[in-house]
């Protein structure tokens, strides 16, 4: 589960088994640092293993290589066969034997942390092999069907003729990718793992969109042809060479991409007939056990589904009370439910669903990001080198995509981080939520955390580029609150929007566990959001559908945020005037993504040093 898979960007990240904590009671304190005799040869052996294992994973994945800025297999796709998965399992077992042969007691403290993380990653990869089919490799949130186009458009750069040829080779490789995808879908179907019926129109529609337009049919250029033309046109080569490349791409699109998508769509339409309306992971083989493991991996805690559900209900109540204060402050006459309806429907909070309205949203969001860039010194000592851009989600995938997300920069800074805003339905993007979204996905949120992690020196790559969802999304949600403490969210309606976003995450705890552990229906989940938040019903539908296809993932945000806040408040209490918010943020970010209890240890060590 910990292997970085860019195809499934939201796969739950793994937990260190035996190293759990909860948001209400700490289970571990900073260990006493014993005087150890560090053996540099053992340290070097450990770091060599970390590097070898990580780079082997990278080089076994052409897609991963491209994300990392490596172009060795720039003309290929990943092998997603069962034989390859078995090979990966055996390599993981060999790595576990190798790490067990290293004497942990002879390592320095930071390498010991890496040792523990690496070993637990391996153990969990082996343990979780049994769940490799407990997912939906195509769904409305992500999947191979949409990855092919988004990857080529956003990741496959063309700087010369060879890279253009590699793009064409990848177009010609799509049939094999989809053949393996279909085999995997059929294997799941035979095990009773088929996405619910609502998923299929989204997936089929997104797939059909990719083969609309030239050269598949008369009309404007298709998404892929337009992308290829744009990139090739920018090359400093002759017009004849450009025409030849474009003709090759046309041939590949017609001979490979079109039939591959046509066959996939045909299969999906047949699979749809075998689907039902059961939404929860409880329907999977050993579904209850699978969901419990998924919660552990996602939250890096031992919290049960019931405990997470109850935390969510308590947070919903608290946030409703804070919202009522704002309601009274702006002089609204009526109860909170009426105020939410006002916020949901009043036209003053929505930009027009026109190109002008969408351009204004992007401009305003960019201005918020630029303002935060200018104030980062108030919050951080270390700042990322990579820039951050604000973009709208591309038309071919905006109907099915989430409302906002972040795409990490290239490690070498050649490609900036991107905050994507989904402007398909402007009624789902109220202006009073604009600040909180920008801070979460951009600055000081995911861009600070992920870009800084990638740029860390003297840190094994598996830690720099790995991920623990509770840490990553907990930081994102925490980053929505920090700007308020800086004096931003001056407009009370915008502060209400911040609370609405936090409320949304609290509801996630309730609904995710409700669907997957308590057999709630999709409609029950939608109703809970509609009755407890000011968001558009379309938001509620998308979120519940996200829960259904990504069990446990949405529980990470609030659990992670609560832990970071708990650690911060404990540090403030312990340090008093010695507390420095910039140093605290440095401690949180400077070690890359870690399980929550490991983060707790780092903070406790920092506090102890400050007190000494």
DSSP 6-29: STTTTPPPP--TT--B-SSS----
Residue 485 maps to a domain? yes
How confident is the model at residue 16, as a pLDDT? 22
Within this chain, do residues 307 and 161 fall inside the same structural domain, yes or no?
Answer: no
How confident is the model at residue 18, as a pLDDT? 26
pLDDT at 53 over 60: yes
Q: How far apart are the first and last CA of the chain?
A: 40
pLDDT at 28 over 50: no
Beta bridge partners of 390: 419
Residue 462 maps to a domain? yes
Mean pLDDT of 424-437: 94
pLDDT at 121 over 70: yes
pLDDT at 12 over 60: no
Residue 78 maps to a domain? yes
Within this chain, do residues 407 and 511 fall inside the same structural domain, yes or no?
Answer: yes
pLDDT at 30 over 70: no
CB atoms within 10 A of CB 474: 29
Residues of the chain with pLDDT > 90, as a percent, come to: 87
What is the rounded CA–CA span in Å between residue 177 and residue 167? 15
User: Tokens 């609309």 map to which residue?
Assistant: 212
pLDDT at 27 over 70: no
Check if the beta carbon of residue 564 is closer than 8 Å to that of residue 475.
Answer: yes
CA 398 to chain centre: 17
Beta bridge partners of 418: 389, 407
Alpha helices in 39-81 (DSSP H): 40-59, 62-67
With residue 152 as reference, give the H or E element that holds it.
Answer: helix 144-154
Residue 148 maps to a domain? yes
* pLDDT, the chain, mean: 92
Position with higher pLDDT, 583 vs 15: 583
Token duo for residue 491:
């407009």
Within this chain, do residues 91 and 150 fall inside the same structural domain, yes or no?
Answer: no
How confident is the model at residue 581, as a pLDDT? 98
pLDDT at 13 over 50: no
Could you give phi then psi for residue 19, rounded to 5 degrees? -130, 50
pLDDT at 8 over 80: no
Number of domains in the chain: 3
Within this chain, do residues 269 and 298 fall inside the same structural domain, yes or no?
Answer: no
Within this chain, do residues 73 and 124 fall inside the same structural domain, yes or no?
Answer: yes
Cα dihedral 609, 610, 611, 612 sign = positive
Please report, to the nearest 10 degrees, the dihedral formed by the alpha carbons of residues 365, 370, 373, 374 taken in order. Answer: -140
What is the rounded CA–CA span in Å between residue 548 and residue 541? 11
Within this chain, do residues 70 and 120 fall inside the same structural domain, yes or no?
Answer: yes
pLDDT at 490 over 70: yes
Token duo for residue 320:
């409703």
Token duo for residue 508:
């996630």
Within this chain, do residues 399 and 518 fall inside the same structural domain, yes or no?
Answer: yes
CA 383 to chain centre: 21
Residue 5 maps to a domain? no
pLDDT at 412 over 60: yes
Band of residue 35 on the pLDDT scale cut at 50, 70, 90: low
pLDDT at 6 over 50: no
pTM: 0.85
Band of residue 397 on the pLDDT scale cut at 50, 70, 90: confident
How confident is the model at residue 139, as a pLDDT? 96
Band of residue 446 on the pLDDT scale cut at 50, 70, 90: very high
Final residue in a domain of this structure, among 132, 155, 180: 132
Check if the beta carbon of residue 474 is closer than 8 Å to that of residue 596.
Answer: yes
Residue 580 maps to a domain? no
pLDDT at 570 over 70: yes
What is the rounded CA–CA span in Å between residue 382 and residue 376? 9
Within this chain, do residues 544 and 459 fall inside the same structural domain, yes or no?
Answer: yes
Residues of the chain with pLDDT > 70, as a percent, come to: 94
What is the rounded CA–CA span in Å between residue 326 and residue 332? 9
Mean pLDDT of 58-87: 97
How confident is the model at residue 36, as a pLDDT? 64
Residue 584 maps to a domain? no
Final residue in a domain of this structure, among 247, 274, 301: 274
Token duo for residue 455:
């740029």
Within this chain, do residues 449 and 406 fall inside the same structural domain, yes or no?
Answer: yes
| C-alpha distance from residue 588 to each of 116, 343, 468, 481, 526 (Å) | 18, 35, 13, 16, 35
Within this chain, do residues 451 and 494 fall inside the same structural domain, yes or no?
Answer: yes
Query: Of how many residues is the chain composed?
Result: 612
pLDDT at 138 over 70: yes
Question: pLDDT by residue (tens digit) across 155-182?
Answer: 999 999 999 999 999 999 999 999 999 9
Domain that holds residue 465: 291-561
Check if the beta carbon of residue 471 is closer than 8 Å to that of residue 454.
Answer: no
Within this chain, do residues 269 and 345 fall inside the same structural domain, yes or no?
Answer: no
Residue 66 maps to a domain? yes
How confident is the model at residue 406, as a pLDDT? 95
Final residue in a domain of this structure, among 249, 274, 299: 274
Within this chain, do residues 204 and 121 fall inside the same structural domain, yes or no?
Answer: no
Band of residue 465 on the pLDDT scale cut at 50, 70, 90: confident
């Amino acid at each position: 589960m910990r292997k970085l898979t860019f195809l499934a960007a939201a796969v739950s990240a793994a937990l260190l088994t035996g190293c759990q904590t909860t948001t209400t009671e700490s289970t571990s304190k900073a260990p006493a640092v014993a005087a150890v005799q560090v053996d540099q040869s053992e340290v070097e052996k450990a770091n060599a293993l970390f590097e070898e294992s990580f780079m082997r994973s990278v080089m076994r994945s052409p897609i991963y290589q491209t994300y990392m800025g490596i172009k060795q297999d720039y003309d290929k796709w990943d092998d997603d066969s069962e034989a390859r998965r078995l090979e990966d399992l055996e390599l993981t077992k060999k790595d576990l034997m190798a790490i067990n042969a290293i004497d942990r007691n002879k390592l320095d403290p930071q390498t010991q942390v890496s040792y523990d993380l690496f070993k637990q990653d391996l153990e969990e990869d082996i343990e979780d092999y049994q769940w490799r089919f407990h997912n939906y490799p195509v769904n409305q949130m992500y999947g191979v069907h949409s990855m092919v186009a988004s990857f080529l458009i956003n990741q496959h750069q063309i700087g010369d003729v060879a890279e253009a040829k590699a793009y064409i080779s990848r177009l010609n490789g799509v049939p094999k990718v989809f053949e393996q995808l279909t085999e995997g879908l059929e294997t799941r179907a035979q095990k009773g793992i088929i996405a619910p019926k609502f998923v299929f129109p989204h997936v089929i529609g997104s797939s059909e969109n990719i083969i609309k337009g030239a050269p598949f049919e008369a009309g404007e250029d298709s998404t892929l042809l337009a992308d290829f033309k744009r990139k090739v046109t920018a090359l400093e080569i002759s017009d004849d060479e450009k025409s030849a490349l474009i003709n090759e791409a046309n041939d590949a699109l017609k001979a490979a991409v079109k039939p591959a998508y046509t066959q996939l769509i045909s299969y999906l339409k047949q699979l749809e007939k075998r689907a039902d309306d059961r939404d929860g992971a409880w329907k999977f083989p050993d579904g209850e056990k699978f969901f419990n493991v998924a919660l552990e991996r996602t939250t890096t805690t031992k919290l049960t589904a019931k405990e997470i559900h109850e935390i969510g209900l308590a947070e919903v109540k608290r946030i409703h009370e804070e919202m009522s204060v704002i309601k009274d402050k702006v002089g609204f006459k009526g109860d909170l439910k009426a105020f939410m309806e006002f916020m949901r429907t009043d036209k003053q909070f929505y930009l027009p669903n026109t190109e002008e309205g969408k351009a204004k949203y992007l401009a305003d969001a960019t201005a918020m990001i630029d303002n935060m860039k200018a104030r980062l010194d108030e919050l951080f000592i270390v700042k990322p080198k990579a820039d951050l851009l604000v973009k709208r989600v591309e038309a071919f995938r905006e109907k099915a995509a989430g409302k906002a997300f972040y795409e990490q920069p290239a490690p070498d800074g050649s490609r900036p981080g991107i905050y994507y805003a989904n402007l398909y339905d402007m009624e789902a993007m109220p202006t009073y939520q604009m600040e909180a979204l920008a801070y979460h996905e951009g600055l000081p949120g995911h861009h600070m955390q992920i870009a800084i992690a990638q740029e860390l020196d003297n840190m094994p790559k598996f830690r720099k580029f790995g991920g623990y969802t509770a840490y990553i999304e907990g930081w994102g949600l925490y980053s929505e609150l920090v700007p308020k403490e800086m004096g931003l969210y001056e407009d009370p309606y915008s502060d209400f929007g911040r609370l609405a976003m936090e409320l949304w995450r609290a509801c996630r705890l309730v609904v995710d566990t409700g669907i997957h552990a308590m057999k709630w229906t999709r409609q029950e989940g939608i109703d809970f959001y509609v009755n407890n938040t000011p968001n558009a019903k379309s938001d509620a539908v998308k979120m519940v559908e996200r829960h259904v296809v990504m069990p446990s993932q949405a529980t990470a945000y609030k659990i992670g945020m609560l832990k970071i806040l708990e650690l911060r408040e404990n540090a403030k209490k312990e340090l008093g005037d010695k507390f420095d918010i910039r140093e605290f943020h440095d401690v949180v970010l400077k070690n890359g993504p870690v399980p929550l209890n490991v983060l707790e240890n780092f903070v406790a060590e920092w506090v102890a040093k400050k007190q000494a």
